[in-house]
Amino acid sequence: MSLSTTDLGFVHRFVPGTDKSRAPLLMLHGTGGDENDLLPLGARLSPGAALLSPRGQVLEQGMPRFFRRLAEGVFDEADLKARAADLARFIAAAREAYGLAAPIAVGFSNGANIAAALLLLHREALAGAVLLRAMAPLAEPPVSREKGVPVLVLSGLMDPIVPADNAGRLVRALEGAGHSVTQEILPAGHNLSQADLTLSAEWLEHFRQ
């Protein structure tokens, strides 16, 4: 497995794929995680897929995040938009450096939120996304008639961080941007359950070539 590198603008890890039938995965950690955090999850969800895992560049009380927030559930949208653009540039550079097809994002919490922002603002960056416990990232999301990409949104019925109405607003925003969204509301909180792993792995099977 590759070591962490600061190349391409983000501290990240890249794990080459061993199964060419599987799309590469962009693993996006939650608050306090890093580039190592979700690699075991990626290997479990899609064995043999190439894994690209960057570290968020914002620190909140020493914990890495992908963008700033003003309070719990209140995002700094100017920073979010700038960080999403930076991440889109990183993805493009990594695709060229490592010879990758457009990846499928697998994001948890803060990582899922930046993935949602990519889907709304830089749709060309991703081939699809699994959003685990995501919130609506933008107060006024863009609308598009262009055909988007498949998106799986897995929400927790008892999630104390993501209210149900916010998760619903996320789904409507993604659909308004032209993406094909499947949402499942699981009997879970903010942490992931076995059902999340099973549903995500089954959904990713549809991308097999």
- For the annotated catalytic residues, the residue numbers are 109, 159, 190
CA neighbours within 13 Å on the CB side: how many for 50?
A: 17
pTM tops 0.85:
yes
- The amino acid at residue 189 is G
Q: Distance (Å, rounded) from C-alpha 168 to C-alpha 44?
A: 28
Into which CATH architecture does domain 7-207 fall?
3-Layer(aba) Sandwich (3.40)
82, 73, 69: which is closest to 170 by C-alpha? 73
Q: What is the pLDDT along the chain (209 residues), one digit of tens a residue?
A: 566 777 799 999 999 999 999 999 999 999 999 999 999 999 999 999 999 999 999 999 999 999 999 888 789 999 999 999 999 999 999 999 999 999 999 999 999 999 999 999 999 999 999 999 999 999 999 999 899 999 999 999 999 999 999 999 999 999 999 999 999 999 999 999 999 999 999 999 998 87
Cβ atoms 108, 30 nearer than 8 A: yes
β-pairing verdict for 69-71 and 63-65: unpaired
